[in-house]
Amino acid sequence: MTKFIVVAGGVISGVGKGVATASIGRILKEYGFSVTAVKIDPYINCDAGTLRPTEHGEVWVTNDGGEIDQDLGNYERFLEQAIPKKNNITTGQIYRTLIEKERKGDFLGETVQFIPHVTDEIKNRVKEASSGFDIALVELGGTVGDYENIPFLFAMKSLEKEIGKENVAYILVTYLPIPSHIEEMKTKPTQLSVKLLQENGILPDFILCRGKKALDEVRKKKIETYANIDSEHVISMPDVTGEGTPNTLYIIPLLLEKEKLGEKILNTLNLERKKEPDFTAWKKAVDNIISPEKEIDIAIVGKYLDIGDYKLVDSYISINEALKHASAKNNVRINISWIDSKELERTDEKILEKFRGIIIPGGFGSIGIEGKIKAIKFCRENNIPFLGLCFGLQLAVVEFARNVCNLENANSTEINPATRFPVIDILPEQKSVSEKGATMRLGAYKAILKDDTLTKQLYNSNEIYERHRHRYEVNPEFHKILQENGLIFSGTSENERLVEFIELPEHKFFIATQAHPEFNSSLLKPSPLFDGFVKACIGS
């Protein structure tokens, strides 16, 4: 039978509940268990596909085409296994299913109610996503005390009743602020979160205390007494990133293991370890990130960067992480400068001279695109390593069409529907799409790689799968002219209609892909394209 670990957050969101969940999963996997993780998002959207990246961070794409909250990315990176879209449950999905069933008459006259219908639907989905695994982590988005969290907490409590307390452990991840005017770590918000959780009939088995600093004994004792739990179950989780601290989240499973969290959780769930954990390779990779031998500067030219007065690089978190994986493998620190493509439109491209390589990430719409095209031209003409991802490939084709093939003002029809040279055009199956949600070309698709290309050399395989999320493609009408002018289609769909990878010969590294290889990268298995890009940057 599957054992469940429910992870809820207290005090504020954004304190790393997702990474904590993923880290616990990694630890338990090391003890020999099959582990999965489920993310509950209490919003009414059916998935994250329609959410603004600057508000909610990147949209994660699963192999089976789900557009999901970025936490699923953390689960995949830490667990090193693919997680399907059914592992993300939202309020929108629950109500949509119930309303569809009700309209079909499936309830046979019953009154459809919040309890038990909504809560049963939640419970069933959690069970379905977890079936076949030894342990399932269920992370509840938001913060305890949010109105919208109530049905999910209720459903978890009801699951506990059904399968027995020994099969469910609750973890509360809280935050202990240190207000600058008193410089003292305060436990009160944590106490209040415990109280709020108890209002739902749930007592935490563990409290993970996030904070700028480690928890001291006095505060640990206070929390322990207040929550009535064993002091061994109050775990300190100080910041691991920021000034003067190691710049990686991958250290967290190692830190939690130091606190023997894995063993303590197994005890709580009445489980015996199935094997001795071995973190050797993981630790080596983390050490490489913390104290690398080399250092390089690269730039990412994007548009989803600012929200109010703050920069939100979470919009590109998977790219950041894929670079980190490559940095661990190549023993190099990668300093990333985030360049706003809107600003680059107004600036001299010479500002790019100081970077060893440039990445153009995915994107939508016309804002800032001329800035991105400027950066691509600069890379192409100056032999600077370039990696284009999805929109990055499309804009590299636009740049090549304009400046090498002399197709004046060539463009993507996404940006200029009236262009004379629509080198990027909407996919035929996208023309009739009217609903925006979950209708792009989504998920893993096969690409056949061409002999004697750098792309094939890097992947070391004839055919590969990468994940996609787009509506536009390289227009087949322009394939010939682009190739005649020297652009190599280093990977295509099986029927060669879709261009999946391009590269330029006689360039240090100029590769772009219609896919998002950043969704297929982990600490111990970096994406081949990111690895190749970083190697080229080191060598340049």
- Binding residues for ligand GLN, rule: CB under 6 A, are 362-364, 390-391, 394, 414, 469-472
470 is catalytic: no
Comparison of 49 and 277: residue with beta carbon closer to ligand GLN = 49
Query: How, if at all, do strands 499-503 and 510-513 pair?
Result: antiparallel
Comparison of 220 and 470: residue with beta carbon closer to ligand GLN = 470
Please tell me whether residue 278 adopts helix, strand or coil conformation: coil
Is residue 384 within 8 A of residue 376, CB to CB? The reply is: no
How far apart (Å, rounded) are the C-alpha atoms in residues 342 and 69?
A: 26
Cis ω before 238 (30° cut-off from 0): no
Comparison of 138 and 515: residue with beta carbon closer to ligand GLN = 515
Cα→Cα distances 120→21, 137, 511, Å: 24, 18, 48
DSSP 88-142: EEEHHHHHHHHHHHHHHTTTTTPPP-IIIIIHHHHHHHHHHHHTT-SEEEEEEPS
DSSP 316-385: GHHHHHHHHHHHHHHTEEEEEEEEEHHHHHHS-GGGGTT-SEEEE----SSTTHHHHHHHHHHHHHHT--
Comparison of 442 and 536: residue with beta carbon closer to ligand GLN = 442
Between CA 466 and CA 475, with CA 470 as vertex, the angle to 5 degrees is 100
Half-sphere exposure of residue 93: CA atoms within 13 angstroms, side-chain side: 23
Cα→Cα distances 397→140, 355, 388, 480, 491, Å: 42, 22, 10, 13, 14
Out of 117, 233, 470, 516, which one is annotated catalytic?
516
Comparison of 85 and 470: residue with beta carbon closer to ligand GLN = 470
Is residue 407 within 8 A of residue 401, CB to CB? The reply is: yes
Is residue 197 within 8 A of residue 163, CB to CB? The reply is: no
Comparison of 31 and 421: residue with beta carbon closer to ligand GLN = 421
Is residue 91 within 8 A of residue 154, CB to CB? The reply is: no
Is residue 58 within 8 A of residue 317, CB to CB? The reply is: yes
Tokens of 108: 């046979």
Instruction: Please provide the size of the chain in residues.
Output: 540
Out of 399, 473, 518, 537, which one is annotated catalytic?
518
Comparison of 472 and 501: residue with beta carbon closer to ligand GLN = 472
518 is catalytic: yes
Is residue 122 within 8 A of residue 116, CB to CB? The reply is: no
CB of 364 to ligand GLN, least distance (A): 4
How far apart (Å, rounded) are the C-alpha atoms in residues 318 and 77?
A: 9
Comparison of 64 and 80: residue with beta carbon closer to ligand GLN = 64
Comparison of 316 and 472: residue with beta carbon closer to ligand GLN = 472
46 is catalytic: no
Out of 209, 390, 405, 537, which one is annotated catalytic?
390
**Which has the closest alpha carbon to 179: 167, 188, 171, 170?**
188
Residue with tokens 């700028």: 212
Residues designated catalytic: 390, 516, 518
